[in-house]
Amino acid sequence: MKTKELVKQNNEKRKELTKENRNYYEDMLIYIRLSYNKSEEETEVILTELLDHLLEAQNEGREAEDVFGHNPKEYANEIIGELPKMVTRERILFGVMALLYFLTASILFFGIYQLIGHFFLNIDGLTKDYYIGTVLVKTTISIPIAFLLLVGIVQYIRWACFKKINKILEFMLTWLVGILSIGIFILAFIFIPDFGPVVSISVYVLFVLGAVWYVIADRIRKAI
């Protein structure tokens, strides 16, 4: 069974769990799925087996803690330790896919920003000059920054699993991280001067390029 089908099956089966068992299981699910460099298919197979085991126990009147214990994080770490790692090919494809998704999001963001500036603020044309040197430097800087932010977000989500965090505090932390992320990108870009050859690109070309990158990234995702 393919990974996508396993995920879909898991989503349907989880509806049969009680609220307490679902909360317990979903914390483990998120924690395990966000483990690094593990085979996605094997991960979903294990998660499905755990869910089936829990559903059987629930039908017998037992709770998730009776099945997996009072320390779900420790149990999840044991499972993660036994999962096979991604093969080299999968790692490379995953990295290329992530890079293309990031470039797609970036180019669409700038395209939408340019459209808003043109149609609503009258500050931009539909064609804009891009300095090749500046674009390359900004891209080189933004990729590792985005990677570090992503790692930080994943680590926070994994840390938050199995913990009861105040919703207001969680919202404030999320808002703060969002503001800091935007601030880091702005600071990284604001001091970089324009240099290198100039290329004039229409906003519509940006959208086409973004769409092409998205299609390629999506095909890679399905091939992993």
Out of 49, 82, 115, a domain closes at 82
Tell me how far CA of residue 4 lies from CA of 1, 41, 52, 217, in angstroms. 8, 9, 18, 16
In what helix (H) or strand (E) does residue 199 lie, and over which residues does it extend?
A: strand 198-202
206 and 95 in a common domain: yes
In sequence order, what are the residues at sequence separation of 6 or more whose Cβ sits closer than 8 angstroms to the Cβ of residue 124? 114, 117, 118
Per-residue pLDDT tens digits of the chain, which is 224 residues long: 578 889 999 999 999 999 999 999 999 999 999 987 788 889 999 999 999 999 999 999 999 999 998 899 999 999 999 888 877 777 788 888 989 999 999 898 888 888 888 888 777 778 888 999 999 998 888 888 888 888 888 888 888 888 877 767 777 877 887 788 778 777 777 788 889 999 999 999 999 999 999 999 999 888 77
In the chain, what's the furthest Cα-to-Cα distance? 71
Residues 32, 112 within the same domain: no
The residue out of 42, 62, 82 marking a domain boundary is 82
Residue 101 and residue 78 in one domain: no
pTM metric for this prediction: 0.77
Task: Give the domain extent around 62.
Answer: 3-82
Show which of 37, 57, 82 is a domain's final residue.
82
Question: How many CB atoms are located within 10 Å of the residue 47 CB?
Answer: 19
Length of the chain, in residues: 224
